[in-house]
């Protein structure tokens, strides 16, 4: 299951993480957010990339929502060494999400090979 974190743990769990962290910004009223969560969990379990997946309720984390300029939900942001390096907004289909996640996985595994 995906770890749900609050603003108070964001620095510890995301910005100070030693591995890349994919943050799923969501809200309880967002149907697409709930729809993609199983796909994200499956991606995390099957991915060859060393990746941590967390979710943040954008409605109860307004400071983070403003800091990362969330314009729509769901928004996925990849953080590496505390910096946002990848952003995905406007998910229109499961196939598109799968494609984007496969591309992300490839990028992460290639980057890990150079470390």
* Domains of the chain, first to last: 3-113 (3.40.30.10)
Rounded Cα–Cα distance for residues 35 and 85 (Å): 24
Supply the angle between the helices 31-46 and 94-113 in degrees, to the nearest 10.
40
The question of whether 5 is a catalytic residue gets the answer: no
Rounded Cα–Cα distance for residues 33 and 37 (Å): 6
Single out the catalytic residue among 2, 7, 27, 30: 30
Report the pLDDT value the prediction gives residue 90, as an integer from 0 to 100: 84
The question of whether 30 is a catalytic residue gets the answer: yes
Alpha helices in the chain (DSSP H): 7-10, 31-46, 62-67, 94-113
Single out the catalytic residue among 33, 36, 56, 77: 33
pLDDT in tens, the chain (115 residues): 678 999 999 999 999 999 999 999 999 999 999 999 999 999 999 988 889 999 999 999 999 999 999 999 999 999 999 999 999 998 888 899 999 999 999 888 887 777 6
């Amino acid at each position: 299951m995906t770890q749900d974190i609050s603003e108070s743990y964001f620095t510890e769990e995301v910005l100070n993480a030693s591995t890349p962290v994919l943050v799923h910004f969501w809200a309880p009223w967002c149907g697409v957010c709930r729809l993609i969560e199983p796909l994200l969990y499956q991606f995390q379990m099957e991915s060859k990339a060393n990746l941590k997946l967390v979710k943040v309720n954008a409605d109860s984390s307004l400071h983070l929502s403003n800091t990362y300029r969330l314009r729509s939900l769901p928004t996925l942001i990849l953080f590496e060494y505390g910096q946002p390096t990848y952003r995905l907004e406007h998910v229109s289909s499961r196939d598109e999400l799968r494609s984007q996640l496969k591309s992300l996985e490839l990028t992460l595994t290639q980057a890990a090979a150079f470390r």
